[in-house]
Amino acid sequence: MEHLYHLSHLFEFLCSVYFGSALLIFIEESIIERIFAPVNEKIADINGVRVLINDYTNMIAEKQYKDVKGRDKFWVDRCHPFYEKREKKWYNRLLRRKIFIEKVKGHGNKSMILKMFFPTFFFTGVYCLTLIGLSAFQYINNNDPVSYKQIDCFFIDLSNGVLLYQLSTLLIIPRLIGRVNYFVIVFCVLITVLIVSGIILLLSYNIDYFDVRWLMTEEHKSAIQMVAVFIAMMPLTYLLLKIAWDISMYVLITGFYNGIRLAFLRSMQGQIRNDIGGVK
């Protein structure tokens, strides 16, 4: 693994990101100070639009309009059933995001985001630091084949453990924050990871399929490098993808409501004209 030493700058950068936790504090502050108010306002607007769409629907319900045709008929026959079918699901997605940002704001100084991701960040930071240290050691002492191999074995086992820990912390901890005592969650995650790591280690000694030490050959040098970078970047990538996904969903759902409202409004123009023109 001495070739990982060439990537030491990347790992150093990751160490500073993970140990500094500035990114998590920045996200939390942004949610409280910049995102909470506009999102809440937008969701309040969407709540109003939902009621309005309901009122629009009442206007065309019970065959109020027997002569619906053209674009209006398209709405009545196609768009409205589609809206009725999908709307609740989309709204619930939006609501989940709203509840989340309300929780973050409600936690105030208790640093909810920091609690959610700190265990993963800290452990991955330790992983990056270990990689820098061990690869540097191998780089300097590359004429000592015994310690060289031992370090490689340690690196493989460590990577396994870190990956399991990351998966557990990223999937379990964020869901339990605020519901279960934080230290109990971290303790349970640690115990789970130790048990799973133990099982994997046991299996690797008995079943060839689980023994990934065959990766330690020269021909798999690049693959190992990729695996190390992947594990080191995992929490950061997960967080960035999650933010991108949440923003995309938010934009898509708010767009959905605006689109439906405009579609309804456009398709009702003929009816409004007929209604008002009818009294002339």
The residues binding other proteins (CB under 8 A) are 44-45, 47-52, 54-56, 58-59, 64, 265, 268-269, 272, 275-280
For other proteins, give the closer residue by CB, 146 or 276.
276
| CA 128/CA 220 separation, integer angstroms | 20
CB of 100 to other proteins, least distance (A): 20
For other proteins, give the closer residue by CB, 56 or 165.
56
| CA 104/CA 95 separation, integer angstroms | 14
| CA 183/CA 248 separation, integer angstroms | 33
For other proteins, give the closer residue by CB, 141 or 269.
269
| CA 192/CA 255 separation, integer angstroms | 42
For other proteins, give the closer residue by CB, 54 or 142.
54
Instruction: Find the DSSP H helices in the chain.
Output: 8-20, 22-30, 36-60, 70-74, 80-107, 112-140, 145-176, 182-206, 221-277
CB of 197 to other proteins, least distance (A): 48
For other proteins, give the closer residue by CB, 131 or 268.
268
Is residue 142 within 8 Å of 103, Cβ to Cβ?
Answer: no
CB of 73 to other proteins, least distance (A): 18
Distance of CA 12 to the CA centre of its chain: 24
* DSSP category for residue 108: G
- Tokens representing residue 107 in the block: 């936690």
For other proteins, give the closer residue by CB, 30 or 40.
40
CB of 95 to other proteins, least distance (A): 12
| CA 35/CA 28 separation, integer angstroms | 10
CB of 249 to other proteins, least distance (A): 21
**Measured on CA atoms in the order 27, 30, 36, 39, is the torsion positive or negative?**
negative
CB of 56 to other proteins, least distance (A): 5
